[in-house]
Structure formats: C-alpha cells, structure tokens
Amino acid sequence: MRAVVTVVGKDKTGIIAKVSAFLAEKGVNILDISQTILQDYFAMIMLVDMSGAKDELSVLAQECSEMGKKIGMSIHLQHEEIFNAMHRV
C-alpha cells in the first residue's frame, strides 16, 4: 500500500533527515520526494510504500503528527487514494 506524507512549517536544518530517519525506523520506504522552500517556509511531499511498515497506517499517522509537533512542523500521513480523492478537482 502506498501513502502520502506532507510536511509543512518554518524552515530549519535537519527536517528531511529527521523525517526520513523516522520513516525508515518504522519500516516505511520513500518512493518519491519533492521539497521546496518558500521564503522562510519548508514544504515537502513524499510518496511512500507502507508494505514493510511495522504499524498500521492509523497508528503511523498519529506518530507522524506527534513527531511533527516535537520538531515544530505539521506532518500528515494518509492513504494515497484518500489524498488523491481530496485533491481531485
């Protein structure tokens, strides 16, 4: 199963490293990644493979949110199909 991770917040050193290390620790593989910095703001979106994940999507989504709060970022993880449905015009 694939999922989408979004990360948004004030730019600071180590965001990609922290998020990617967290996902690797949880058995989640990053398939594709795009990130940009808009003035002082960091925005990243990742497509991830959850097939090797140690926890269910709902548990990982909560853990991502909690980790985001610890590093001062907003981090959301959701099933790829839900993300696509939400962004279909």
Cα radius of gyration rounded to whole Å, the chain: 12
Residues 28, 22: Cα–Cα separation, whole Å? 9
Percentage of the chain lying above the pLDDT 90 cut: 87
HSE (CB half, 13 Å, CA atoms) of 10? 4
pLDDT above 90 for 79: no
**pLDDT score, position 88:** 67
Residue 89 confidence (pLDDT) above 90: no
In the chain, the number of structural domains is: 1
pLDDT of amino acid 5: 97
Domain, as residue range, for 13: 2-86
Give the pLDDT of residue 86.
Answer: 73
- The predicted model scores a pTM of 0.89
Q: What is the CATH number of the domain that holds 40?
A: 3.30.70.260
